[in-house]
Amino acid sequence: MVIENALPISQLTVHLPYHDLRQMLRLVRLLFRLNQSGDYRDRVFPDLPAVAQFDPGHAALMMGYDFHLTANGPRLIEVNTNAGGGYIAWLSEQLAGRVSANYLSDRFSQRLLDSYLQEWDDFSGGVRPLKRVAIVDEDLQNQPLLPEMVGCCDWLCQHGIDAHTVLVEQLQVEDDGVYYNGDKVDLIYNRHCDFYLETAPMKKLKEAYLSGLVCLSPNPFAYGLLADKRRMVLWSDPNALASLSLSASERRLLLEMVPPSFLLSEQNRDDIWSQRKKLIFKPVARFGGRGVLMGKGITRQRFADLDPETTLVQRVVAPSVETSPEGEKFKADLRLFVYRDHLLGVGARLYQGQVTNLKTVGGGFAPVRIV
């Protein structure tokens, strides 16, 4: 199936220094170890809803760790549990002539397939093979990355796993499991952005998840521990880090790579206003750049309207810039696609404007060359 024309793919190549990639991986692996530790969970759990304190016994598919590259090294911008773009990142490599047309049957494909199989084994105890996957999102026909989800389904089917893109409303929850069109679903690859399963359409899926009727990946447990933007407050707070089981070098790594972050409610509002040009304001419960405001452009009234308990304030980390042969400039961020603490692949997103987007002409996902 030819779908690349429907996908936001840039013709430019982003160069990533190997030493920066190593540093990014150090942080990813540290955060994975940290989220496994009892003292970290004890610290975080009181701030999580009950659904996010339920441990389903498995991890999360396709985690995304987003970085900006600076003169002083990479800096973490955010973590995503339902990170899109993995298939597009692979396709951008193929279109750039850097990988063969059968690359999906090689290294990237095997790593990705192994993550699906491991999720299912951890959930089911390995009693039988993974048979059926539903890729779930809302308003599928208007999802800009729908072609990626369809491509993922085709790829799973090529590996003998029945797969479909599904609206959550199309799932049926029975006493013995979750069904789609009368067939039992083993694993739901969750691309829905109701991260804590709070909305009415997600209620039945939440009940099935908490009852252990289906393997839901990613899930609220992984989101609460790693991808809720409020975790970046903890990771950038030296006093909080001192209370955790971290070595001095691990604390230094976090404080170096995670921009200073705090909730708007935690500091004097007038002081924040006076420093606003160096800050960025992010709603903690939204995604994909929605509602993000650069402090240098915010009005006094808009600032006054921000909800102090749900607004993350972060020190601005300017993205690196890539220039096309025609001299056009694009901002760049790097995304590591990860399963547990294992790297699946690396992608870049090129854009113009205030925040990352996939609408810039000439921008989109771009191949990455390690140098």
Q: Give average pLDDT by consecutive 10-residue segment, the chain, 371 residues.
A: 57 94 98 98 98 98 97 97 80 63 62 96 97 96 88 94 97 98 98 95 97 98 98 98 98 99 97 98 76 94 96 97 95 96 93 81 88 93
Residue 253 falls inside a structural domain: no
Question: What's residue 6's pLDDT?
Answer: 57
Q: Examine the domain organization and report whether 326 and 303 are in the same domain.
A: no
Residue 310 falls inside a structural domain: yes
- Sequence-distant (6+) residues with CB within 8 A of 11 are 324, 362
H or E segment at 37? none
Q: Examine the domain organization and report whether 124 and 57 are in the same domain.
A: yes
Pick from 277, 292, 316: which residue ends a domain? 316
Cβ atoms within 10 Å, residue 356: 22
Q: Examine the domain organization and report whether 271 and 199 are in the same domain.
A: no
Residue 152 falls inside a structural domain: yes
Residue 239 falls inside a structural domain: no
Domain count, the chain: 2
Question: What's residue 114's pLDDT?
Answer: 97
Helix (H, G, I), strand (E, B) or coil at 114: helix
Question: What's residue 287's pLDDT?
Answer: 63
Q: Examine the domain organization and report whether 182 and 297 are in the same domain.
A: no
Residue 85 token pair: 């773009």
Residue 304 falls inside a structural domain: yes
Cα–Cα distances in angstroms (integers) from residue 272 to residues 146, 214, 295, 311, 315, in the given order:
39, 45, 10, 12, 11
Question: What's residue 85's pLDDT?
Answer: 82
Q: Examine the domain organization and report whether 273 and 338 are in the same domain.
A: no
Question: What's residue 90's pLDDT?
Answer: 72
- 65 φ/ψ angles, rounded to the nearest 5 degrees: -115, 115
Write down the pTM of the prediction: 0.93
Q: Examine the domain organization and report whether 312 and 363 are in the same domain.
A: no
The dihedral over CA atoms of 40, 43, 49, 55, expressed in degrees to the nearest 10, equals 30
Query: The domain containing residue 308 runs over which residues?
Result: 266-316
Residue 255 falls inside a structural domain: no
Q: Examine the domain organization and report whether 312 and 330 are in the same domain.
A: no
Q: Examine the domain organization and report whether 201 and 285 are in the same domain.
A: no
Q: Examine the domain organization and report whether 298 and 327 are in the same domain.
A: no
Helix (H, G, I), strand (E, B) or coil at 344: strand
Q: Examine the domain organization and report whether 312 and 357 are in the same domain.
A: no
CATH number at residue 166: 3.40.50.1760
- Sequence-distant (6+) residues with CB within 8 A of 347 are 85, 86, 88, 89, 92, 334, 335, 337, 365, 366, 368
Residue 224 falls inside a structural domain: yes
Cα–Cα distances in angstroms (integers) from residue 313 to residues 179, 280, 325, in the given order:
42, 6, 36
Q: Examine the domain organization and report whether 173 and 113 are in the same domain.
A: yes
Residue 257 falls inside a structural domain: no
Q: Examine the domain organization and report whether 197 and 281 are in the same domain.
A: no
Question: What's residue 104's pLDDT?
Answer: 43
